[in-house]
């Protein structure tokens, strides 16, 4: 993976992207779009993430860092279809956030 581009947007825009690329008619907090040659793209709905941060008692910075890390792991072919895969991703998220001196917002 060479490049990861991050788009900070809003729930309306992510709802459009979610519909167009995933056939889901709803907004979401983050989407990732792999690109075999370049790494991929990540789109973040700041308004949703801000609300989630408030609900978790986390900072917006903490939530964005976690979601960009999570989406980057997806771009690197990690997934969480099974509990063991979820636990692997969670461990990796915590390791990356720790290197940025951040706690995982769900801890």
Which domains are seen in the chain, by residue range? 3-99 (3.40.390.30)
**What confidence score (pLDDT) does residue 84 get?**
94
**What confidence score (pLDDT) does residue 1 get?**
57
In degrees, rounded to 5, the angle at the alpha carbon of residue 73 between the alpha carbons of residues 71 and 103 is: 80
Q: Hey, what long-range contacts does 88-95 have (CB within 8 A, 24 or more apart)?
A: 93/66, 93/69
pTM of the predicted model as reported, rounded to 2 decimal places: 0.90
pLDDT lower than 70: segments of the chain: 1
Where do we find the tokens 């889901």?
A: 24
């Amino acid at each position: 993976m060479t490049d990861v581009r991050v788009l900070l947007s809003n729930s309306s825009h992510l709802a459009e992207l979610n519909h167009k690329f995933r056939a889901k008619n709803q907004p979401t907090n983050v989407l990732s779009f792999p690109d075999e040659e370049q790494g991929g793209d990540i789109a973040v709905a700041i308004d949703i993430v801000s609300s989630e941060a408030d609900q978790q008692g986390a900072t917006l910075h903490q939530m964005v860092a976690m979601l960009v890390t999570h989406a980057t792991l997806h771009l690197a072919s990690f997934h969480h279809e099974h509990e063991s895969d979820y636990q692997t991703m969670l461990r990796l998220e915590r390791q990356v956030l720790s290197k940025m001196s951040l706690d995982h917002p769900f801890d």
